[in-house]
A and B are shown apart, each in its own frame.
Chain A
């Protein structure tokens, strides 16, 4: 039962261990890859973890499941004495017992460990050298536990207890790969790339000329979409920083768009957009708007939640005749119908005057993988190229 317990500990710690991995782990036990608790730790981790982010959870589960299995030091020493000099007892004796399940084997092992009092060589029951007992070393039992050899005992427990991988842990749900998979649908392929040889056409043209080679070239397909990411960097966005960063780094790493521009604003775009918030590098919003074409797609990221005057009132420092935040947003929407708004707040919080006003202007989606997929579909429907 010990290993089943381990499985449930792993799952409790949030490791997605499926039947496939578990069977692989059991077959590693059967194939003799694992001789001791260090082996369970090392081999188990290499099979049951898919990322270094899983290592910490694995350490915790390992500690929980095997805490009782570590032999006290003096017991270990005695065990090693029983096992020294294993060469002499190679042949003969009754047929070894075969175990059908690992759990049964381990149970039996612990049982015997409690009852055994002395050294055994060549027997069929006790933990010893040679012989056909399932326990010990130098024996001939088809299934069993090897005791002794390098390593062994408490080291794996100690290693697991150190929790060396704690910093690699990540419980964030918005996975970079999922983001990229969702964004891949965002493309408009046209034959405007570099020239490449069109093999089918070349063969056909060559055949028409009775074998005199005629090279036909064509333009490679290229994604024509230019993406503009506009992100709210205001204080209320701080709790969402991790998720927004993931979206940002996922998009930056993609390299499949014709271009990707990133701008920052505070609450809402006004007269200026920031290229770099820390360095205070800013550009008039008008200039950004002027460069938008039908091949651009806008993705706003923000909670859209602010004091109503911040959206509806005319702000600025050049007199009264300045556009409000909503006016600026309307200009973006007009310049670029292929635009969406991703909101890191859950939908149930969207019942707010500024959120609903912006939600009427832009199709608004939650900043989750599902929301992103819906958003990409909305962008694809906005057939503007």
Chain B
């Protein structure tokens, strides 16, 4: 098979199940939908895939107001109106005012690309459905030009979701799906060591004990994720705390838990709270 396969990169540690999903998406030419808690490295995955396949990455960051057509093209009618008054450009050619969106750029590109559609669940409920045809056919029509933009090379499409909203069934049917589970202790140790290579084992152990215990607290609205753990460790290192203080005090809990209620819930469950000052 001539297809280049994804096998992780030096800075991105992918488990074998994730590798299988990525390669299935690449070979089957389906979008890969990656779902999981915030901070489990979904967005980084797209960067790693692009790096590993040696392709440029085009990232489309979705917001609540994003519409499907934004990813295809934008007709800047306001600019054209302005130019018609002040005569800066050739307004007779509408082409000067059509700008391709991220998907449009990927379709028009002369080399194969990787497209990241980040946090697809932020947009309107119908947003994924509006992209079905374009992702299936890898082509779309621009009525203003009466032209069709068809992909010269099918891009690898990676879509991330935090599961804020449920995605529509027809969309899910077309995707290769992967759920990034929360890293277990062994993998978390690997991840943390990428960020803090010189961290002592005793401190790491103490911090991970506390971290996983806090995550188990019932009723947390926002359980701390990997990125919070990494930040917390930075603070612990900077403060020069020893393992005992990490285990028995509650140092810098605000870095792990950002909501008042969560903080109270986690601290009230301590059997023997020695408050850290």
Which A residues are closer than 8 A to B by beta carbons?
18, 20-21, 24, 27-28, 31-33, 38-39, 42-43, 45-47, 49-52, 55, 151, 164-165, 168, 175-177, 180-181, 184, 197, 199, 202-203, 206, 211-213, 253, 255
B78 interface residue per 8 A CB criterion:
yes
Interface residues of B in 160-179 (CB under 8 A from A): 164-169, 172-173, 175-179
- Asked if A46 meets B20 with Cβ closer than 8 Å, knowing A177-B166, A181-B125, the reply is yes
Q: Apart from A28-B28, A177-B165, what are 11 other A-B pairs with CB-CB below 8 Å? A: A31-B28, A33-B28, A38-B16, A47-B24, A51-B179, A164-B181, A177-B166, A177-B168, A180-B125, A211-B85, A213-B82
B84 interface residue per 8 A CB criterion:
yes
Interface residues of B in 10-57 (CB under 8 A from A): 16-17, 20-21, 23-25, 27-28, 30, 35
The chain A residue sitting closest to B16, CB to CB, is: A42
B166 touches A39 (CB 8 A): no
Q: Mind listing 19 A-B residue pairs with CB under 8 Å?
A: A21-B173, A33-B24, A38-B16, A42-B16, A42-B21, A46-B21, A46-B25, A51-B172, A52-B35, A52-B179, A177-B166, A177-B167, A177-B168, A180-B165, A181-B125, A203-B77, A203-B81, A212-B85, A213-B82
A33 touches B27 (CB 8 A): yes
Query: In the complex, A212 Cα to B87 Cα: how many Å?
Result: 12
The chain A residue sitting closest to B125, CB to CB, is: A180
Nearest CB on B from A23, distance (A)? 11
Cross-interface CB contact of B177 among A27, A31, A46, A212, cutoff 8 Å: A46
Query: In the complex, A168 Cα to B82 Cα: how many Å?
Result: 54
A211 touches B84 (CB 8 A): yes
Query: In the complex, A49 Cα to B78 Cα: how many Å?
Result: 45
A212 contacts which chain B residues (CB < 8 A)? 85
Cross-interface CB contact of A49 among B27, B64, B177, cutoff 8 Å: B177
A24 contacts which chain B residues (CB < 8 A)? 28, 30
B181 contacts which chain A residues (CB < 8 A)? 52, 164-165
A55 touches B179 (CB 8 A): yes
Nearest CB on B from A332, distance (A)? 30
Query: In the complex, A45 Cα to B178 Cα: how many Å?
Result: 8
The chain A residue sitting closest to B87, CB to CB, is: A211
B27 contacts which chain A residues (CB < 8 A)? 28, 31-33
B77 touches A199 (CB 8 A): yes
Which B residues are closer than 8 A to A by beta carbons?
1, 16-17, 20-21, 23-25, 27-28, 30, 35, 64, 77-78, 81-82, 84-85, 125, 164-169, 172-173, 175-179, 181
Nearest CB on B from A158, distance (A)? 13
- Of all A-B residue pairs in the complex, the 9 with the closest CB atoms, nearest first, are A177-B166, A42-B20, A52-B179, A46-B21, A50-B172, A43-B24, A46-B176, A213-B85, A176-B166
- The SS class assigned to the A binding surface is helix
B169 contacts which chain A residues (CB < 8 A)? 50
The chain A residue sitting closest to B1, CB to CB, is: A32
Query: In the complex, A49 Cα to B179 Cα: how many Å?
Result: 10
Nearest CB on A from B27, distance (A)? 5
Query: In the complex, A203 Cα to B91 Cα: how many Å?
Result: 14
A46 contacts which chain B residues (CB < 8 A)? 20-21, 24-25, 176-178
Query: In the complex, A176 Cα to B164 Cα: how many Å?
Result: 10
Query: In the complex, A315 Cα to B267 Cα: how many Å?
Result: 42
Nearest CB on B from A251, distance (A)? 13
Query: In the complex, A375 Cα to B24 Cα: how many Å?
Result: 43
B35 contacts which chain A residues (CB < 8 A)? 51-52
A49 contacts which chain B residues (CB < 8 A)? 177
B173 contacts which chain A residues (CB < 8 A)? 18, 20-21, 50
The chain B residue sitting closest to A16, CB to CB, is: B169
Nearest CB on A from B31, distance (A)? 12
A199 contacts which chain B residues (CB < 8 A)? 77-78
B16 contacts which chain A residues (CB < 8 A)? 38, 42, 151
Query: In the complex, A271 Cα to B16 Cα: how many Å?
Result: 60
The chain A residue sitting closest to B26, CB to CB, is: A33
Query: In the complex, A20 Cα to B169 Cα: how many Å?
Result: 13
Question: Among the interface residues A45, A55, A175, which one has the most CB atoms of the partner chain B within 10 A?
Answer: A45
Nearest CB on A from B1, distance (A)? 6
Query: In the complex, A211 Cα to B80 Cα: how many Å?
Result: 12
Query: In the complex, A33 Cα to B179 Cα: how many Å?
Result: 19
Query: In the complex, A197 Cα to B78 Cα: how many Å?
Result: 9
A18 contacts which chain B residues (CB < 8 A)? 173
Cross-interface CB contact of B23 among A20, A33, A45, cutoff 8 Å: A33
Nearest CB on A from B145, distance (A)? 18
Query: In the complex, A18 Cα to B174 Cα: how many Å?
Result: 11
Nearest CB on A from B176, distance (A)? 5
Query: In the complex, A28 Cα to B20 Cα: how many Å?
Result: 11
Query: In the complex, A364 Cα to B20 Cα: how many Å?
Result: 50
Nearest CB on B from A21, distance (A)? 7
Query: In the complex, A43 Cα to B35 Cα: how many Å?
Result: 16
B1 contacts which chain A residues (CB < 8 A)? 31-32
Query: In the complex, A213 Cα to B83 Cα: how many Å?
Result: 10
B165 contacts which chain A residues (CB < 8 A)? 176-177, 180, 253
The chain A residue sitting closest to B168, CB to CB, is: A177
Nearest CB on A from B199, distance (A)? 28
